[in-house]
């Protein structure tokens, strides 16, 4: 039993899963701690300015966001109900993808952990408070006020799309020659297995019954010289 447990934790998939869990926990903690800090610093007052991070570009301002990421659909209760349901479905789907489709894809699994941290971070706020605590004002870029969870979801989603399209031998368009060659080898193996599965097994050929030789059964009398 002990040896089986040791072998389990030595597996690459297990190690990547543990790393992903650590990444998920660390990012979720960052999100919740920064939200709690902003709330305390503002005294819970909505719209309180905290400080300027980059003049003219990024500042910190505490906002009670009743909308979704970057303050979209603010104060729309029906939209928020849909968003909450969608978030729960997304969280379950990400876990399923983590253990199935991307089970052997290390970059994708870690990226899924990043997205999961952001999704759960905002879901906790929405279920516990009825709103999401935002503090990073990026209005200068055409967005509203957001939080770190929004960044995790947005950048994680972009990174995951990039990985699916370009990274690894299973990508749609592998970037490196090595990945392209590995993809070709995998395709050849799949075609060989498919051909072997489709071709019927050859039945052993039945042996023909012995036929009498030309001499046997020749009843013509022999003439003496």
Catalytic residues: 134, 150
For 195: left if phi > 0, alpha if psi spans -120 to 50, otherwise beta; the answer is alpha
Pick from 119, 133, 134, 135: which is nearest to 84 by CA? 119
How many of the other CB atoms lie within 10 Å of CB of 131? 17
What are the φ and ψ backbone dihedral angles of 125, each rounded to 5 degrees? -60, -45
What are the φ and ψ backbone dihedral angles of 181, each rounded to 5 degrees? -65, -40
Both structure tokens of 113? 């952990």
Residue 9, SS3?
A: helix
What are the φ and ψ backbone dihedral angles of 136, each rounded to 5 degrees? -100, 110
Distance CA(48)–CA(61), nearest Å, equals 6
């Amino acid at each position: 039993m002990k040896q089986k447990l040791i072998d389990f934790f030595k597996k690459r998939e297990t190690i990547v899963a543990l790393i992903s869990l650590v990444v998920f926990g660390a990012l979720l903690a960052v999100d919740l701690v920064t939200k709690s800090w902003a709330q305390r610093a503002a005294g819970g007052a909505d719209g309180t300015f905290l400080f300027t991070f980059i003049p003219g570009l990024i500042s910190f301002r505490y906002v009670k966001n009743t909308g979704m990421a970057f303050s979209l659909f603010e104060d729309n209760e029906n939209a928020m109900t849909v968003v909450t349901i969608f978030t729960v479905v997304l969280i379950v789907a990400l876990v399923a993808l983590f253990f199935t489709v991307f089970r052997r894809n290390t970059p994708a699994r870690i990226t899924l952990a990043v997205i999961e941290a952001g999704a759960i971070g905002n879901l906790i706020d929405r279920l516990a408070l009825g709103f999401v605590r935002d503090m990073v004002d990026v209005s200068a870029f055409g967005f509203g006020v957001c939080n770190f969870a929004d960044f995790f979801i947005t950048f994680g989603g972009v990174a995951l799309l990039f990985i699916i399209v370009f990274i690894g031998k299973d990508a749609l368009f592998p970037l490196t020659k090595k990945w392209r060659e590995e993809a070709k080898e995998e395709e050849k193996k799949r075609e060989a297995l498919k051909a072997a599965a489709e071709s019927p097994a050859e039945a052993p050929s039945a042996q023909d019954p012995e036929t009498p030789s030309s001499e046997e059964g020749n009843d013509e009398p022999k003439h003496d010289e």
